[in-house]
Amino acid sequence: MKKRKFGLVLTSVLAASAILGACGSKDEEKPAKENDGATSDAGSSEEAFTVAMVTDVGGVDDKSFNQSAWEGIKQFGTDNGLTEKEGFDYLQSKSDADYESNLTALVRRDFNLVFGVGFMMMDAVEAVSADNPDSHFALIDAEVKADNVVSILFKEQEGAFLAGVAAAKTSKTGKIGFVGGVNIPVINRFHAGFVAGAKAVNPDIEIQVKYTEAFDKADLGKITANGMYSSGVDVIFHAAGATGNGVFSEAKERKKQDPNANVWVIGVDADQYEEGKVDDKTNVTLTSMLKGVNTAVVDISTKAKDGEFPGGQTLVYGLAEDGVKLADSRGAIPADVQAVIDEYKEKIASGEIVVPEKVEE
């Protein structure tokens, strides 16, 4: 009897081991994926599509270009039920030496799509995308020719043209200014459009131009604006990222010292109305030239999520695509001036007017 019982126990153990072994072999063939927080209605694990971005030196809170991109990333995350850090995230670059390492870090964290924000990141995206051909990248404001990279450009010159119209029609001194960041093609497009728009409505307008060669130096923006305002300029359009925050600081200081001072700032990339707030009744923001970076980020992320990643393509957003436009002026721009702006907007969107990308054009 004892031998029979021992035999039955041994048979049962061997059978159980066989079953467990079979289960183990299946698990080895198809490893289980970690639960990333997204589940189906049945409660089973479902892989989420994740996105992340690397800022340029302007930082994620530059109240301009990088911030707009981050808002797009966050919007995509919210729309798709993702959690920050795991589902969407950003890494901030303190210098251009951080670009490649930050991009690589996000690739190693297995984000499905990684954005490089800004023209300055072109070389880094080109290098990291070549080293990681199975990863997908999106580059804003520059082009990289690779099957795993989509390049995103904007017709900044078209929106800047409208900013130039607004500045020239608002100026009482006949002097306006442009403060650029680094002297690169994307900022040149802002510059060219602004000059073209201003000259279109006032051929005799005087336009002072200064490139600060930085996107993260508010003190340089303030010093530059001080010089322009002191010389009689009464409207400044900046395309300088966080450096432009200094332009607002200078205008607000002058307005506080003299409430009757006629000083205006035209913001860039995002609606910078709040940056121009002096008090509850006074604001130095004339308008802002909006660049739909956030919209483009959501658009590209959604396409990639749906299996339609436009790798190898360059997508361009202009007035016709609602990629650039002027922000609501909150009454700072009179109705008659707004009518002129709208007229030019229609002509540009229809192709009747082609705005130059370079000042010499």
Q: What is the dihedral of CA 193, 194, 198, 200, to 10 degrees?
A: 0
State pLDDT tens for residues 72-97: 999 999 999 999 999 999 999 999 99
Domains, the chain, ranges and CATH?
A: 51-154+294-317 (3.40.50.2300), 156-291+331-350 (3.40.50.2300)
Distance CA 329, CA 286 (A): 6
Contact predicate 179/236, CB 8 Å: yes
Across 70-205, where does the E strand assignment appear? 88-91, 113-117, 136-140, 149-154, 175-180
pLDDT at 33: 36
pLDDT at 260: 95
The residues, ordered by sequence, that sit 6+ positions from 65 with a Cβ below 8 Å of its Cβ are 56, 58, 117, 118, 241, 268, 269, 270, 291, 293
Q: Which residue positions in the chain have pLDDT lower than 70?
A: 1-46
Helix (H) or strand (E) holding 347: helix 335-350
pLDDT at 42: 32
pTM above 0.95, yes or no: no
Distance CA 145, CA 181 (A): 26
The residues, ordered by sequence, that sit 6+ positions from 37 with a Cβ below 8 Å of its Cβ are 48, 81, 82, 83, 86, 87
Contact predicate 179/237, CB 8 Å: yes
Query: DSSP assignment, residue 18?
Result: H
CB-CB neighbours of 85 under 10 Å: 10
